[in-house]
């Protein structure tokens, strides 16, 4: 029988079981790294560094995990905080990147595949909309869970998802049928 996340967390808490924590990392590494790849606009090295930092923080603070939310939601919140702290450190302008947006609208750089275009379109979204879309539409979080991860009001998450989707649709209009 496969152990649940709660069982593994209990083992980490009680016995400081590294094997149990390794299993938690194995289970959640894909979604956490995927989220960070989207947030960092596919900077794979940076995303993996931040993902490592996320799991290290999770290990150090696992006693503060209250079990009210899913473990994955808690991890996403740590990952998002890691990303924001890193962005602040780098003094990166988090938001709409004009250069990338311009590239999106340059017909010569438009890729043939819808998926490829979608990846570019996602990168062009402002951070708050991109994060909301990635969490809700790609990772399957509810609006409420995403609001907890992003530490913003529920209504703002809904607005960001809605606006993000509208922008994506516009950017992908070339793929509309008929």
CA distance 111 to 125: 18
By the rule CB under 8 A, 115 interacts with other proteins: yes
* Cβ contact 141:127 at 8 Å: no
Residues 33, 34, 35, 37, CA torsion sign:
positive
CB of 111 to other proteins, least distance (A): 13
CB of 63 to other proteins, least distance (A): 6
> First CA to last CA across the chain, in angstroms?
51
Q: Which of 3, 4, 6, 30 binds other proteins (CB under 8 A)?
A: 30
The torsion angles phi and psi of 87, rounded to 5 degrees, stand at: -65, -40
Q: Which of 3, 7, 43, 56 binds other proteins (CB under 8 A)?
A: 56
By the rule CB under 8 A, 126 interacts with other proteins: no
* Cβ contact 32:23 at 8 Å: no
Smaller CB separation from other proteins, 84 or 123: 123
By the rule CB under 8 A, 80 interacts with other proteins: no
Helix, strand or coil, per DSSP, at residue 77: helix
By the rule CB under 8 A, 137 interacts with other proteins: yes
Smaller CB separation from other proteins, 30 or 98: 30
CA distance 73 to 91: 27
Helix, strand or coil, per DSSP, at residue 78: helix
Give residues in contact with other proteins (CB under 8 A).
16, 18, 21-22, 25-26, 29-31, 33-34, 37-38, 48, 51-52, 55-56, 59, 63-64, 66, 114-115, 118-119, 122, 133-134, 137-139, 165, 168-170, 172-178
């Amino acid at each position: 029988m496969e152990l649940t996340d709660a069982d593994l967390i209990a083992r980490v808490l009680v016995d400081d079981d590294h094997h149990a924590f390794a299993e938690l990392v194995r289970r959640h590494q894909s979604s956490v790294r995927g989220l960070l790849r989207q947030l960092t606009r596919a900077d794979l090295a940076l995303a993996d560094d931040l993902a490592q930092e996320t799991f290290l923080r999770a290990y150090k603070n696992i006693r503060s995990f209250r079990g009210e939310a899913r473990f994955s939601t808690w991890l996403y919140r740590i990952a998002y905080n890691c990303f924001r702290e890193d962005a602040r450190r780098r003094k990166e302008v988090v938001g709409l990147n004009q250069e990338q947006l311009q590239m999106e609208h340059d017909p010569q750089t438009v890729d043939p595949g819808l998926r490829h275009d979608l990846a570019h379109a996602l990168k062009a979204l402002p951070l708050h909309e991109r994060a909301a879309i990635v969490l809700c539409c790609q990772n399957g979080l509810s609006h409420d869970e995403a609001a907890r991860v992003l530490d913003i009001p529920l209504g703002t998450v809904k607005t960001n998802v809605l606006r993000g989707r509208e922008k994506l649709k516009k950017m992908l209009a070339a793929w509309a049928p008929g």
